[in-house]
Amino acid sequence: MALVDEIPVIDCDSHVTEPPDLWTSRLSGRWRDGVPHVIWDERLNEHRWLVGDRKLNGVASFAMAGWHEYSPAHPPSLEEADPGAHDPRARLSRLDEYGVHAQVIYPNLLGFYVPAFLDLEPALALDCVRAYNDFLAEFCSVDPKRLVPLMFLPFWDLDASLAEMKRALDLGHKGLVFGVDFAKVGLPPITDPTWDPLLSAAEDAELSINFHIGFSQVTEDELRSQIRLQDRVEFVKNSALMMLGNARAVADVVTSDICARHPGLNFVSVESGCGWLLFLLEALDWQWENTGAHLAFPEREFPSVYFRRQVYGSFWFERDSMRRTIGALPDNVMFETDFPHPTSLCPGPASSAENPRDAIERALGDLPRDVVQKVLHDTAARLYHLE
């Protein structure tokens, strides 16, 4: 019997492709043309998002599941993309096909293009965040046991973030998406005491802090280059290096006193793989002693101790590096598909991806069953409070 038939697999990282009317259908008319909406781009021959003065990606540029052209090419419209990217019932059908029981869902626009929303009037930006959290809660309400929403917060306003955390929690959100590198948008790092009220509130509510790669400012030229075929090599390099971006967030957490001050708070790194985690932890521990940090901060544990207790990674397409990490950190690794992104376990005519059923069997089939149970289900079920 296949592993997916024995264990209810929880996918800890997937995305919803935002519908073109997400904000225009939800925000009041007082904002008029300022509400994020889509516009037609003659040069690129597709509808693109316009947030403030910034032209962002195409409406379906993140919906690569099953697409017949190689990345960075993408569907020119939602009608031509996999409906599972934006329709919750179609998503459930795709999960059944893939052998996935439940899926944790992240944003695209708010996750990757935060600076664009920061350029909006503060009240409008706050309304955009609230509208997104409402939309995702409704998307997941089709089957709340299988579709798991993570809230986004208006981090630029701490009081508003605390209020939205409570509101989104009441809507059914199971964790919060946190910025990997707040310096890019002029906010203090997670280690700054500014964030203590938010971290304490998340700890009290048993909400995990989830780091997703991205949180970047993309220029017009970079957006255009993403769909030019001659830039495939750059796409390969940039995508691989971006996946290592979460190393900074993990290092910040385990070398600071955050885990000591918030021992009940959990941190998750997704869409970044897990093979690099072993080296990072060895390097941090070695330097912790090599620099005398263990003497300067005798009240703190070594970084790897905090990681094992409160930090989690994930894997999807990896092979050898993933197995070594699971062997060393069986309680700290989860499974993901990254559906429907370009680097996802979504097989298609122009993808090297395996069906998740096969990828899981190939990656974990010969590992001890108790370890596989943790990786595919138990750890995620505990972090996101799933049955």
- Output the six-digit token pair for 315: 């894997």
pLDDT beyond 70 at 228: no
Question: Rounded distance, CA 162 to CA 44, Å?
Answer: 40
Indicate the average pLDDT of the chain: 93
44-48 mean pLDDT? 92
Strands 102-106 and 10-15 turn out to be parallel
Query: Does residue 234 have a pLDDT over 90?
Result: no
What are the structural domains, with CATH classification, of the chain? Answer: 3-383 (3.20.20.140)
Site of tokens 């709340």: 144
| Token pair in block for residue 200 | 């304490």
Question: Residue 227 pLDDT > 60, yes or no?
Answer: no
Is 276's pLDDT higher than 90? yes
How many other C-beta atoms lie within 10 A of the C-beta of residue 108? 20
Kindly report, residue by residue over 58-77, the tens digit of the pLDDT: 999 999 999 999 888 899 99
Q: pLDDT (tens digit, 9 = 90+) per residue, 316-328?
A: 999 889 999 999 9
Q: Is 53 exposed, middle or buried (0-12, 13-18, 19+ CB in 10 A)?
A: exposed
- Sheet of 46-51, strand order: 37-41, 46-51, 54-58
Distance of CA 1 to the CA centre of its chain: 31
CA nearest to 336, candidates 365, 362, 356: 356
pLDDT at position 182 is 84
Look at residues 184, 182, 181, 132 and name the one whose alpha carbon lies nearest to residue 153.
132
Backbone torsions φ then ψ of 310, nearest 5 degrees? -140, 0
User: Is the distance from CB of 126 to CB of 157 less than 8 angstroms?
Assistant: yes
- For the chain, give the percent of residues with pLDDT over 70: 96
227-231 CB contacts, 8 Å cutoff, 24+ apart? 227/44, 227/58, 227/61, 227/72, 227/73, 227/74, 228/72, 229/73, 231/72
The pLDDT, as a whole number, for residue 144 is 97
- The pLDDT tens digits of the residues spanning 333-355 come to 999 999 999 999 999 898 889 99
State the Cα–Cα distance between residues 173 and 384, nearest whole angstrom.
Answer: 9
Among candidate residues 93, 106, 144, the one with its CA nearest the CA of residue 12: 106
- Cα–Cα dist 202/336, whole Å: 23
Lowest mean pLDDT among 120-124, 183-187, 302-306, 376-380: 183-187
* φ/ψ of residue 230, rounded to 5: -70, -5
**Amino acid (one-letter) located at 99:** G
CB atoms within 10 A of CB 109: 22
CA–CA distance from 206 to each of 1, 76, 151 (Å)? 35, 40, 13
Q: Which amino acid is at 290?
A: N
Question: Which tens digits make up the pLDDT trace of 135-163?
Answer: 999 999 999 999 999 999 999 999 999 99
